[in-house]
Amino acid sequence: MDRQEIERKAREYLSQEEVPYFKEDLQKALDQGDWGELEDRFYRELDFGTGGLRGIIGGGINRLNPYTIRKATQGLADYILAQGIKNPQAAIAYDSRRFSDLFAKTAALVLAARGIKARLFSTLHPTPLLSFAVRELGAAAGIVVTASHNPPEYNGYKVYWSDGAQLVPPHDRGVIDQVRRQEGLIPLPDEEEALNSGLLSYIGGEIDDRYAALVHSRLLRPGLIKEQAPRLKVVYTPLHGTGRALVERLLGELGIPCLTVPEQREPDGGFPTVAFPNPEEPAALKMALDLAVREGASLVIGTDPDADRIAIAAPDGGGNFRLFTGNQLGVLLGDYIFSSLGETGRLPDRPAFIKTIVTTELQSLLAAKHGVKVYDVLTGFKYIGQKIRELEAAGENYVFGGEESCGYLALKEIRDKDAVSTAVIVAEMALYHLSRGQSLSGRLEEIYGELGYFEEALISRTIKGAAGVGEIQGIMARLRQNPPVELGGVKVREILDYREKNRMNLPPSDVVQIRLEDETLITVRPSGTEPKIKFYASLRGRPGQPPAEAQRDCAGRLERIRAYLNALS
């Protein structure tokens, strides 16, 4: 793109953007003559993908700002209206990131301008509360302004349909098509005008109360909590995000002592105490772990900024805290949920468990042990939400679901991963094992001993900018055109390309899976929300192999696989 074209697009953007900060942000880049930066801002429009928008905050058409929020919401509004829904309304939530409140209100005013009633949370709220609100209010759609666990320069915009799940076919493509048809910005009412017309209203505490009542009604062992809650001492961090109010409230109502990390308790879109506000990263939980050691805590819980992902750590019995991976926590949760429902006679007929294709197979073995049918879906929690709806129609009963990236859901009334209700289940689970004189680490080792040792790893490669898109596409193309015959010294048994028909009858997706003779499974896929390509490796110990030996064996095999994947370019 030459400078003349960049300047033309910049002038066009500046003529339509109404918020001074974003006009000044772009003008500064123009004044500095930073043409590389400017090309990145204008080489494309910020892509509205199947989940919505995610991008760097700033001025330009390839940035997240009021202009791109307005265009996206105009397209969404046009799609809602095209469905012929009588008196449609939409729910809107936002997190603690920079400009989230502005972007949420902007989206609400666009909906109001199109005659759709906007129900906007009056304060920042977790993503799962948006999913819950859509269903509780009977809304046609929902929006949450968040970039989840991305660095502070990012923000995002996710769209939900009337079932409370993120967009899936045919609605995803329908909304995308409408967004791409938008050529200009429509005039917006001011806030007072929208409120007086009844097309804008604010959601107060009533949704929180209904949600809290639902969580309390689904306790697996309420008698245990009533009798022994004070024994458990939790250290919690919301990582400057939205989880604090509800996590503190729910644990407090149960009588579970909860100490929130003071330096990370208040919402702050700059995330000043962490490099990345991602609880999967050990560094993000350092302050919580330090506090837990000082206070002699029984459990550490961390949630990401929009409180849909959760990570935990617990004493390992040797004086240290063990951080559990997303796969390991999913195993522990499944074990506790399935066994508790079975022991108390509450496991429903035709129970079902849903996981993604990159989540450990140990969870499948665990579900099968308890007589729970397992379903695999593509990566992304929207596919779990979609599958719950399909299971309901077929008369099957969803019990639990999750993905390796620390996202879990045990409440079918919600259709996205939920770190808040999961925090309550984790606390109950930890208390249960504590009451039996067992650590969470000890229980995980028992499961390994019974069902076999598994080890998983994620290798991500970030490739930003216009050239990065082509490079990621090139890696996928070379993998398909010249697939490996062996990997890490082990022969390849099978290669599965999800762009083609696959044995699980899943929708086409840009995913390649490689299965080796030793049952190692490697999955390669470009990220749907970040400029990354991701490599997932899952290794399994040999049958009958002692866990310690299996762990050493898998670690060696994993290093050889890492070397191959790091060289793939």
pLDDT at residue 1 in the model: 77
**Yes or no: is domain 454-567 CATH 3.40.718.10?**
no
Residue 473 above 90 pLDDT? no
* Overall average pLDDT of the 92-111 stretch: 98
> Would you call 512 helix, strand, or coil by DSSP?
strand
Residue 467 above 80 pLDDT? no
Q: Are strands 141-145 and 154-161 parallel, antiparallel or unpaired?
A: antiparallel
211-221+229-451 CATH pick, 3.40.190.80, 3.20.20.240, 3.40.120.10, 2.60.40.10: 3.40.120.10
> For residue 531, is the peptide bond before it cis, meaning its omega torsion is within 30 degrees of 0?
no
Where in the sequence of the chain do the CATH 3.40.120.10 domains occur? 3-204, 211-221+229-451
> What whole-number distance in Å separates Cα of residue 366 and Cα of residue 482?
36
Q: Hunting for tokens 């309550």 — which residue is that?
A: 424
- Mean pLDDT for the chain overall: 94
Where in the sequence of the chain do the CATH 3.30.310.50 domains occur? 454-567
pLDDT at residue 461 in the model: 84
Using CA atoms, how far residue 367 sits from 99, 335, 429, 456, 487, in Å, is 42, 8, 17, 19, 30
Query: Looking at residue 49, what DSSP letter applies?
Result: B
> What whole-number distance in Å separates Cα of residue 358 and Cα of residue 373?
18
List beta partners, residue 89. Answer: 117
DSSP 118-171: EEEESS---HHHHHHHHHHHT-SEEEEE--TTS-TTEEEEEEEETTSSBP-TTH
Q: Hunting for tokens 């304060």 — which residue is that?
A: 123
Span 172-210, pLDDT tens digits: 999 999 999 998 999 999 999 999 999 999 999 999 999
Residue 529 above 70 pLDDT? no
Using CA atoms, how far residue 365 sits from 305, 447, 460, in Å, is 32, 10, 27
Span 12-58, pLDDT tens digits: 999 999 999 999 999 999 999 989 999 999 999 998 887 899 999 99
Say if residue 321 is exposed, middle or buried (CB neighbours under 10 Å; 0-12, 13-18, 19+): buried
pLDDT at residue 469 in the model: 76
Using CA atoms, how far residue 233 sits from 120, 125, 248, 254, in Å, is 35, 25, 13, 12
* Overall average pLDDT of the 100-114 stretch: 98
The mean-pLDDT minimum among 79-93, 161-175, 515-529 falls in 515-529
Residue type, 392: E
Residue 530 above 70 pLDDT? no
Handedness of CA 204, 264, 243, 100 (dihedral sign): positive
pLDDT at residue 2 in the model: 87
The mean-pLDDT minimum among 374-383, 410-419, 441-450, 455-464 falls in 455-464
> Would you call 362 helix, strand, or coil by DSSP?
helix
Backbone angles phi, psi at 2, to 5 degrees: -85, 170
Query: Looking at residue 55, what DSSP letter applies?
Result: E
The percent of residues above 70 in pLDDT, for the chain, comes to 98
Handedness of CA 109, 113, 114, 116 (dihedral sign): positive
Q: Are strands 521-526 and 532-540 parallel, antiparallel or unpaired?
A: antiparallel
Residue 440: pLDDT band with limits 50, 70, 90: very high
Task: Identify the H or E element spanning 315.
Answer: strand 310-315
The mean-pLDDT minimum among 10-24, 241-255, 469-483 falls in 469-483
pLDDT at residue 393 in the model: 96
Contact assessment for residue 152 and residue 271, using Cβ atoms and an 8 Å cutoff:
yes
Closest listed residue to residue 233, CA positions, set 216, 263, 255? 255
The structure's pTM equals: 0.94
pLDDT at residue 50 in the model: 73
> What whole-number distance in Å separates Cα of residue 160 and Cα of residue 174?
13
The percent of residues above 90 in pLDDT, for the chain, comes to 83
* Overall average pLDDT of the 113-142 stretch: 98
Structure tokens at 325: 């991976």
Helix 465-481 × helix 35-42 angle, to 10°: 60
Active-site hit among 96, 100, 131, 148: 148
**Yes or no: is domain 3-204 CATH 3.40.120.10?**
yes
Active site residue 509: no
pLDDT at residue 503 in the model: 66
Span 532-568, pLDDT tens digits: 899 999 999 987 788 789 989 998 888 888 888 877 7
Q: What angle do CA 306, 310, 314 make, to 5 degrees?
A: 145
